[in-house]
Structure 1
């Protein structure tokens, strides 16, 4: 039975992949921002373990404890976004996006490396199309995601000899609560049918997780069939 540590399992892509892994009987360790969210995750995924930590607090992430000694995967799915042009960036929004989207994954991965080495596991970083190309008003979010790609590339080179595989997943616009928020910030009408379903991205992640150990998928991009056009 495999053991997976997942961030962002409360909704969207993280919730979709957790549903499948839980349904097939794997062990889940789920990170939650607070006790209320932890209780909701325990109710949704009976038998799973929850660990309370605020990913926006680097010191709390650095002190995290109670994690398994062996992991088959570490799935970084949680993320935050606040769109703004550089001229209007607020320091707290810049800091939060960097802390949640980049600093927390780096610190959590460092802590989990002994367990991942023991399990010859895989680290999956759910990035974004914004981690490949940055547009207007996406500077802070894209900077965090460009950094996340660099983190994954370095980790992949460092841990190859230890049997730890590293994959970066670049989904384009996906029908999640975050995407609904992005549309509101952009002043657009949100239509979830235009975008990739969380279940489709989760299926891509599962393909990566279930790949035989004689191969690895360093990067994979998932795009909707409907083209997105800027205003």
Structure 2
């Protein structure tokens, strides 16, 4: 059975992707806390519980994974507020979770992905293309994630495939207070499935922008 690791799998987009890939993959369900809820819903799964703000913990958790076909970075934070209102700790935590954790995990699991000619998917955002008020930290992390993803795709061409998904407003607790139209998290999961199926057929979807 093919294997996939999904960070942020306990809720929102990450959970929807874990459930989608769980139909035909063994899933490492990434969570900063208890992952038992999503693991119980999947046919073949195990928890990957790690503090994504701790690089050493990420390396230790990933050390036991020798085979991997799909890696999905779906964990993320959205520190809301104006630039003036956000403090240094909020900025650092946003980059630690949204950017550096994905980089550290990719570095740790790159050999396994290379062995399978596997697929890396980053869950980016429309905020990876444009800024908006109240989103300085979030937009900065998503621009950084997009740059990392695009450069890695070029460097790893022929060894792994790299896809960046850019969902618009999605119905998760991250933006629960936003009353504008939103799409379900399952729509993003279906886009992730499209990238996985394309990779299995020898093609790469470089990026997908998904709108509600």
Which string of whole-angstrom CA distances, capped at 9 and with x for unpartnered residues, describes residues 13-49 of structure 1? 1111211222x23211112213xx1333332335311
1:203 maps to which of 164, 186, 190: 190
User: CA separation of 1:75/1:31 partners in 2, compared to 1, >3 Å: closer, same or farther?
Assistant: same
Aligned to 1:28: 27
Aligned to 2:65: 68
Aligned to 1:229: none
Instruction: Return 71-80 or 9-18, whichever deviates more.
Output: 9-18
- SS of the residue corresponding to residue 160 of structure 1 reads coil
What is the CA distance between 1:78 and its match in structure 2?
0.8
- SS of the residue corresponding to residue 122 of structure 2 reads strand
Query: Aligned partners of 2:81 and 2:63: how far apart in 1?
Result: 37
Aligned to 1:160: 157
Query: Aligned partners of 2:64 and 2:146: how far apart in 1?
Result: 25
- SS of the residue corresponding to residue 210 of structure 1 reads helix
Cα pair 1:129 1:172 within 8 Å, conserved: yes
User: CA separation of 1:217/1:46 partners in 2, compared to 1, >3 Å: closer, same or farther?
Assistant: closer
Query: Aligned partners of 1:106 and 1:213: how far apart in 2?
Result: 26
TM-score by length of 2: 0.93
Higher-Rg member (1/2): 1
User: CA separation of 1:26/1:96 partners in 2, compared to 1, >3 Å: closer, same or farther?
Assistant: same
Aligned CA-pair RMSD: 1.6
What is the CA distance between 1:105 and its match in structure 2?
0.2
Query: Aligned partners of 1:13 and 1:175: how far apart in 2?
Result: 9
User: CA separation of 1:168/1:65 partners in 2, compared to 1, >3 Å: closer, same or farther?
Assistant: closer
Cα pair 1:51 1:66 within 8 Å, conserved: no
Query: Aligned partners of 2:139 and 2:70: how far apart in 1?
Result: 25
Query: Aligned partners of 1:160 and 1:71: how far apart in 2?
Result: 18
Which string of whole-angstrom CA distances, capped at 9 and with x for unpartnered residues, describes residues 108-130 of structure 1? 00001000001110000000111
Aligned to 1:176: 172
Query: Aligned partners of 1:144 and 1:68: how far apart in 2?
Result: 27
What is the CA distance between 1:66 and its match in structure 2?
4.3
- SS of the residue corresponding to residue 141 of structure 1 reads helix
Gaps of 5+ in 1: 225-231
Q: Tell me, yes or no, if structure 1 residue 147 matches structure 2 residue 144.
A: yes
What is the CA distance between 1:151 and its match in structure 2?
0.7
Instruction: Return 62-71 or 201-210, whichever deviates more.
Output: 62-71
Which string of whole-angstrom CA distances, capped at 9 and with x for unpartnered residues, describes residues 168-213 of structure 1? 0000100011121xx3xxxx5x36xx21111111111101100144
Query: Aligned partners of 1:95 and 1:59: how far apart in 2?
Result: 17
Query: Aligned partners of 1:111 and 1:12: how far apart in 2?
Result: 25
